[in-house]
Amino acid sequence: MNLEKKISTGQVLRLLALLLAMLVALSGVIAQVSSALAEATARDVTYRYFDEALPRLATGPSAVTWQSAPAPLDRPFGPAEEAIVGTALTHAWAAHAAAMETGTAMGLADHFGSIALERASRAATVSGARMVVLQQVARPVFFHADGSLLQIEAEALIARFHIDETGALTAHTVTRDTTLTTLANEATGWVLISHERLASEGLAVTYARLASGPLAGINYYPAETPWTKFWQGFDAATIAEDFDRIAGLGGNAVRVFLQRDTFLDDRTAPQALDDLAELLSLAERAGLSVVPTLFDLRGGYEGATWANDAAWLARVLPVLEASVAVAYVDLKNEPDLDMDLQGPGQVEAWARAMLATARSIAPDLAYTIGWAHPDAAPLLADTLDLITYHDYGPVAESAAALDHVRAVAGDRPVHVTEIGETAFSLVVGRFPASPRAQSERLAARMMALAGADGIFVWTLHDFPEPDPAAIGRSPWVIGLQGHYGLIDATGTERPAAEVTRRTFANLLNRISPGDAQ
């Protein structure tokens, strides 16, 4: 008996149609998964710091410094009142800045009342216009006996700027204004009911003169405590030993990084400031100049947070200004990388406001910005004391990039504050790098940059545990970033260390690499 079952052509076609439908459905699922993965990957690439992915809140410590009343008041105004009113003023102007950025008056009624609310609401509707109150030095001039009404006079540092529809900065000023503000003590707290500008003067841009001579330096973190771990795990003995090793490489400078939150948080700031002063003393003892880089890992640029930044500068800059070891101050590391996400105009406006604030606090210090790319050198070139940038591009383009920056800088010094090559390799001695390849590439780059006034190598040590808060969690990136050191994980110098030693000697003696023995 024939048990074979015949299948008709129609059945075959129906089976093929079913399989095709299943493939289509499966491809749709794959597409959705791919889209989700792509979206997640885009977020990882877009948000360079964790705080960029979080909503910016118009809150923070008081940005008001109080002076005594010029005459007796009807009601005492003591430290408790200063803290409460100072916080109210800070939050009010932060909300005002946020309203102007978003174009909505939502939330202003929590901080403003009467005619002040009307004016603040109108300001929020002016397209492109921005105003940020950075600092206030205030004194009470009237305090009603029943505590219901307060009037203060203040000297305020205020940034006003305009960003056009393309996101470009078209106008920017920072002025010191004399203001008269009236506040009412309502059920929800103090609210501004009147604000008047009595006088205003622009801040003149003053330039500081750098100490003569080139700088040959190292970007520095201890091997075990890089990035956010540095100030939390500050170890003076380790730093002193490392500074001696930098001097032993022929270096005369070190570039260090100050995270904003560590020095702003009242719980950690006092110790961090003491540690900063000790680091400067250790550098001076080792014969090293210091380039402190501020606002490291500070990702957002919303106006509501600028008063916190100004308060941060007011804490840090006096410590730097008091030290003879400071060569110059790098305001921000690679802000040009933030422009696509934050907007070029917003980033530039923040930088100009912070430079003006810094100079008002510590006018004798020299200031720069460590651009990620040489193409960014023209940005803010009119207000920097020297031009600095980083060079990780093709070595064949390094010399031309330096010439481009030289043309922008004019007679000001040009420092390349980050160069480096990784020794990481998946297969030892082969792709993508090795200790030998690291030294060869570093030597070629240093030769191309021989005309710079300063060169800083990234970095002294390999990092056994690179900080994911700074570089993310990609195993590939962790491998690359963990092996840029001139000194490996065993404490042994790589060949790149000797390349650095020779090049530093040439730089400091101004010997042409072609003439060096």
Instruction: Please give the full DSSP string across 267-334, using - where no structure is assigned.
Output: TTHHHHHHHHHHHHHHHHHTT-EEEEEEEET-----GGGHHHHHHHHHHHHHHHHT-TTB--EEEEE-
Delimit the CATH 3.20.20.80 region(s) of the chain.
215-515
Query: Band of the pLDDT at 54, cuts 50, 70, 90?
Result: very low
CATH 3.40.50.10860 fits 215-515, yes or no: no
Query: Which residues pair with residue 487 across a beta bridge?
Result: 461, 493
Contact 418, 390 (CB under 8 A): yes
How many residues does the structure list for the chain? 517
Q: What is the pLDDT of residues 211-252, one digit of tens each?
A: 768 999 999 999 999 999 999 999 999 999 999 999 999 999
CB atoms within 10 A of CB 8: 8
Cis status, amide bond into 459, omega within 30 of 0: yes
Residue 64 above 80 pLDDT?
Answer: yes
Angle between helices 398-409 and 435-448 (to 10 degrees): 40
Q: What is the pLDDT of residues 443-472, one digit of tens each?
A: 999 999 999 999 999 999 999 999 988 888
Query: Which residues pair with residue 137 across a beta bridge?
Result: 65, 155
Q: What is the pLDDT of residues 389-401, one digit of tens each?
A: 999 999 999 999 9
* pTM as predicted: 0.86
434's tokens? 């090795």
Residue 442 above 70 pLDDT?
Answer: yes
47's tokens? 């948000």
189's tokens? 């707290």
Delimit the CATH 3.10.450 region(s) of the chain.
52-202
Place of tokens 């640029």: 301
Report the range of poorest mean pLDDT among 8-12, 92-96, 203-207, 218-222.
8-12
Q: Which CATH architecture fits 52-202? A: Roll (3.10)
Contact 356, 203 (CB under 8 A): yes
490's tokens? 């065993």
Query: Which residues pair with residue 56 across a beta bridge?
Result: none
Q: What is the pLDDT of residues 283-310, one digit of tens each?
A: 999 999 999 999 988 878 999 999 999 9
Burial of 295 (0-12, 13-18, 19+ CB in 10 A): buried
